[in-house]
Amino acid sequence: MTRDDNDSAPAEDDQLLVLPDDLRHELKEPMGPIETDARRLLEAVDGPLIAVGDVVTYHFLQAGRQPDVALVDGRTKRSAVDEEIREAVTAGASIEVRNPPAELSAPVVRALRRALATDEPTTILVDGEEDLVALPAIVAAPEGASVVYGQPDEGMVHVTVTDDHRTEMRALLERFEGDTERFWNLLDE
């Protein structure tokens, strides 16, 4: 497994964006339809599959589909996932990065870009929290890709990437606190 942290840079250089408290309520609303059955959700997938979350990734693996990009952190609803899920979703982890809760760090953005650029399925193991990576994933993924993330106690939210979704996510990310210019430079590389 490779680490994508830039250990030579000061820690503050890794922090790009922080979720402001006044945006938290907006992220509670699902950005797409909610599905509870992974096989049925997969019927609507036509293109690359980006899974954000351990349980979502596990359900796809159980349904026989390895996500093209998976982001996992060993947790669900702020608690450790079961050992079976942890072992299944981290077995193929190829990149390990730090990303603190409620933030988007430079290492996780670089890892996302690298994972999207390769033809091999890539699992990014996040030390911290991976939830917010769904937002830049929607911006950076190709047209028609599926970004799927968990909606606690409801199911899996399926976002099929379109220009409208990208525009909406860009506007939302612009409202985060931090170095948005550096964030966009890294994401758009």
Known binding-site residue numbers for GTP = 54-56, 73, 130, 153
Interacting residues of 110 by C-beta distance below 8 A, sequence separation 6+ = 4, 6, 97, 186
* Binding-site residue positions: 54-56, 73, 130, 153
What are residue 103's DSSP bridge partners? 18
CB 120 within 8 A of CB 90: no
How far is the C-alpha of 170 from the C-alpha of 183, rounded, in Å?
11
Question: What is each CA distance from 115 to 68, 69, 118, 122, 178, in whole angstroms?
Answer: 8, 6, 6, 6, 24
Q: State the Cα–Cα distance between residues 59 and 39, nearest whole angstrom.
A: 9
Distance separating the N- and C-terminal Cα atoms of the chain: 23
Cα 164 from chain centre: 19
